[in-house]
Structure 1
Amino acid sequence: MSGPLTARQLLQRFAVHGRFYERQVDGVGYRLRSHLEIFDRGALAWPAARAAPADLVAVMMNPGGSRPLHEPDADGWAEAVPDRTQYQLMKLALAASAARARPIRHIRVINLSDLRTPKSAELFAALGCIGGWHSLFDDARAAELRQALGPVHTPVLRAWGMSRQLNGLAARANRALAAHAALGLTEDGLAYRHPLPQRADLQRAWLEQATSQLSAAGA
């Protein structure tokens, strides 16, 4: 590879589809996304990818400003506009695949919270007043979570960030993910570094360390 792939080149290789939905609670409307599928266009086709076991499941904080590229279908699925974090995950898939017995061709992204907001303050404010229905790790959504995670040999990348306001959800997620190989950069087993810190050198460091972990897990 002559140099880092551009966003255009990554999108030529990978497709991105998400499941979007909305919900009204006490007269307030919420926009949400429950799943995001990132997959190699040459290895999988849509809609088969949405039900296929993933090669890697990444657990993030929330979908941020994620949005559909067009009107979702009857089940809420649509092509999604990728963000810089998702491009980082595509780079991880390519880098790790070169050193693994089994390549990473399909990443499923789920979140501690399905709430779509790019502002952390709005997310944290909502978490305290809407119950647990917005989290895939809520007990009432256990069957949905099991389907998203797939077989217990599927590695899970924990990358939901360092905010202590997520500790309750992070602890719940850790319990639910206990059977899966745990990947992610952490100092305390609760807060996990986000794939895209602000500094470019830290972004490269995260990619290198996550690639090493994932390569070792699939060697």
Structure 2
Amino acid sequence: FEEFYEKGFVRFEKDDESNALYTRLAAFRENPAKNRLGTPSGKIELYSPTIAKMNYADCPAHPAWIEPFEWLGNASKKHPLHIVSPHSRYRLHSQLNNSIIRNFAEVSGREPMLINPKDAKERGLATGDIARVFNDRGEILTGVLVTDVVPQSVIAICEGAWYDPENWGEKSLCQHGCVNVLTRDKGTSSLAQSNSAHTALAQVEKFKGEIRPIQAFSKPKILQSL
């Protein structure tokens, strides 16, 4: 701690043991009876009788590919772009989004949207523009960042931007770029209930409306009663 406090960082050097090749489940392979896994059988299960008894239509008892409810395989002219929402390197989910750090990430005061040059050209978009991203669930404003880092027909909007509705209510335009407005509010399956944020389609267009100030980071008005 003293070193960190003085320098601002601590460098941890790797030792010989850390550099050794790690083999996952090595103890189980060496002695499966003694080193049982945390499954009902204690073994690697490719088929789970426990899950089979649950009889979930969207979660079979064995590994299987189930078509997502939205993906490029069923994209339409109405919503042709697939949204991925990775973590931002400038915050921890939504934490620190209200700090000065956001100035290093945002584009035109909005959460960035990474878009392929071909998709951007089709829509008349350039880096620095403000775009409207929308589907049947909602709409958001984002700052455009044109890059070939993302493939064609895919846009990337990091999760964690603070919600800033133009008007409070259902399906209000989020002026700051909260991607949760566009994603489905339902778990991955009846069993897992995990996040299904990467399964979403949308359309993008250049925003031509009124650009309003962001209110998400403003302090609320405190009314004092007499």
**TM-score, length-scaled by structure 1:** 0.25
The structure carrying a bigger helix percent of its residues is: 1
Larger Rg, first or second structure (1 or 2): 2
The structure carrying a bigger strand percent of its residues is: 1
Of structures 1 and 2, the one with the larger relative CO (CA 8 A, separation 6+) is 1
**TM-score, length-scaled by structure 2:** 0.25
